[in-house]
Structure 1
Amino acid sequence: MSLKKLLADFSAEVALCAMFAPDRYPFPAIHYEQNRTDMLRYWSEAKGQLKRDAALIPAIDAQIEEMFAAFDSGDRKKGVDTAMALWNRNIKQME
């Protein structure tokens, strides 16, 4: 899969985290664990292809970790805020 497609899919998964958090997914087929798995898979594949923005990988990894830690501990607001901060990085434009 191309880097642009991976980053677009990753961005969409981050947006789902921000919109629905773990307890508000509207459909049984879309749920937190699947969202988390997909997001981590897209990011794992994408970061291996990053060149220009490779220096951002540790910061993004830390934000992902912080977001999931917040959601897993029940801190919905912090999880959503972290997801929005990650999404606002405009990750679809990374190279």
Structure 2
Amino acid sequence: QQSGCNGFTDAEIYSLAVHYYDEDDIDVGRPLDCRVVVNHTIVLTEEEQREAHEQALRKATEEAYAKITHKSKSQPASNAANAANQQSLF
């Protein structure tokens, strides 16, 4: 923030990090309210895309199964409560 720059190269960030860990008496100061923007995109190989897709499917399947099993466990309790409140015709 003090430099007034809007962007830094990887080498500049690395040198700042090395300087931080080399010095013993650096005053960090107060936390900054800022955002970090990275100007490159990650390109996945087809294998990595396929693996990410499989993981997403597994996660969705597990969540759906958990939701179904959670509902089925709570339904018998509500059916039992309704059965207790109903009068028998016989």
TM (normalized to structure 2)?
A: 0.24
- Decide which structure has the larger Cα Rg and report it: 2
User: Of the two structures, which has the highest relative contact order with CA contacts closer than 8 Å and spacing of 6 or more?
Assistant: 1
Q: Indicate the structure with greater helix content.
A: 1
TM (normalized to structure 1)?
A: 0.23
